[in-house]
Amino acid sequence: MHQFIAGLPKAELHVHLEGTLEPEHCLALAQRNGISLEHKTPESLIRSYDFCDLSSFLKVYYSGIRVLVTEQDFFELAFRYFQRAASDGVVYVEVFFDPQAHTMRGIPFDVIIQGIHRAQCEARTALGLESNLIMCFLRDQSAESASEHLTMSMPFNDWIVGVGLDSDEKNNPPSKFAKVFSDARDQGYQLTMHCDVNQVNTLDHIRECLDLIKVDRIDHGLNCLEDDQLCSALVERGIGLTICPVSNRFVVQSLTSDAIRSLLQKGVKVTVNSDDPAYFRAYINENLMALIDEGGFTKEDIKRLMTNAFEIAWLPGRLKAKYL
Ligand code: ES4
Ligand code: ZN
């Protein structure tokens, strides 16, 4: 099974670039940029990756982000992730980045995106890995800040395929960002939003995603299983869910394999992804192996999940056809 998973050409659609910051790299960047960290060794950092919910995770995630300062830092972060992904058999990836988490520390938008874009170009030529970039807005920041970042992104709109919404979901519903997502759509961006598992009012959030924002995808979103009408709407509109089993195990103490199986049976286009692989200590292959080892998934199930990923990828049809 390991060989089958490793050899399968894969697409990953839900991975936060800042969540791929490995502890060794985090420590090296802290030293290079003169930033002091509470933890001084990789082992000590890893011991601190002990999350019980979304907010305990986000605290650690934002603390790690502070070491990213220069264009070269963003290049290295992205290129190292692309190297790992390519060696895991990923052939296409859509990566999220969180510009507000950097601009609020005084890092210019163009420093962030130039570094990431340079890594994407190098990944294509040196690794044969195709990638696209999704700009996420932090939902615990204001809608005005999101709008300002949408404007900042416009000179680089050829480098960005879509926008997403992440961070702390409590009291930050999709409707808060209706205007900026509508503007993003007008600018030609695809739309997705996180509806993290078991959040307060999660069903309302999923409904708003579908009926108000009119998203193209939902990140997580597996609570839709609690409402047959929601599941039918997802199937009818071909809206995919990007699910992250090991992330769920950390954040909601469940691998969610039963939910993934039910969604597959209903014909919802579910996919499997790593979310924040450096923090959850599991890249895409480990996520797939967890479903096999603990959820009893078969090769056929895994192939279906991976076909779904290529089908809902934000790629032009002629490029998609290469993979399907
Ligand atoms: C995230 Cl697991 C998760 N949920 C919400 N926002 C995030 N950003 C990075 N990982
Ligand atoms: Zn996520």
Q: Which ligand is nearest to the CA of 168?
A: 1
Q: pLDDT at position 188, please?
A: 98
pTM tops 0.80, yes or no: yes
Residue 94 DSSP symbol: E
- Residues 203, 204, 207, 209: is their CA dihedral positive or negative? negative
- Kindly state whether residue 320 falls inside one of the protein's structural domains: no
Which residues make up each annotated binding site for Zn(2+)? 14, 16, 194, 275
- If one counts the domains in the chain, the total is 1
Ligand 1 mutation pick, 53, 57, 97, max ligand atoms within 8 A of CB: 57
Is residue 82 within a helix (H) or strand (E), and if so which, with residue range? helix 71-87
Q: How far apart are the CA of 66 and the centre of ligand 1, in A? A: 16
Ligand 1: list residues with CB < 6 Å.
16, 19, 54, 57, 61, 166-167, 194, 196, 247, 251, 275-276
- Kindly state whether residue 45 falls inside one of the protein's structural domains: yes
Phi/psi for 192 (5° steps) reads -145, 160
List the domain range (segments joined by +) for residue 299. Answer: 2-313
- Kindly state whether residue 322 falls inside one of the protein's structural domains: no
- Kindly state whether residue 20 falls inside one of the protein's structural domains: yes
Q: How far apart are the CA of 165 and the centre of ligand 1, in A? A: 9
- Kindly state whether residue 323 falls inside one of the protein's structural domains: no
- Measured from the Cα of 247, ligand 1's closest atom is 2
DSSP string, 170-231: TT--GGGGHHHHHHHHHTT-EEEEEE-TT-TTHHHHHHHIIIII--SEEEE-GGGGG-HHHH
Q: How far apart are the CA of 58 and the centre of ligand 1, in A? A: 7
- Kindly state whether residue 49 falls inside one of the protein's structural domains: yes
Predicted ipTM beyond 0.90: yes
Please work out, in degrees rounded to the nearest 5, the angle formed at the alpha carbon of residue 57 by the alpha carbons of 285 and 164.
70
Tell me the CATH number at 268.
3.20.20.140
Q: pLDDT at position 316, please?
A: 87
pLDDT, averaged per 10 consecutive residues of the chain (324 residues), comes to 97 99 98 96 96 94 98 99 98 98 98 99 98 98 98 98 98 98 98 98 98 98 98 98 97 96 98 98 98 97 98 92 88
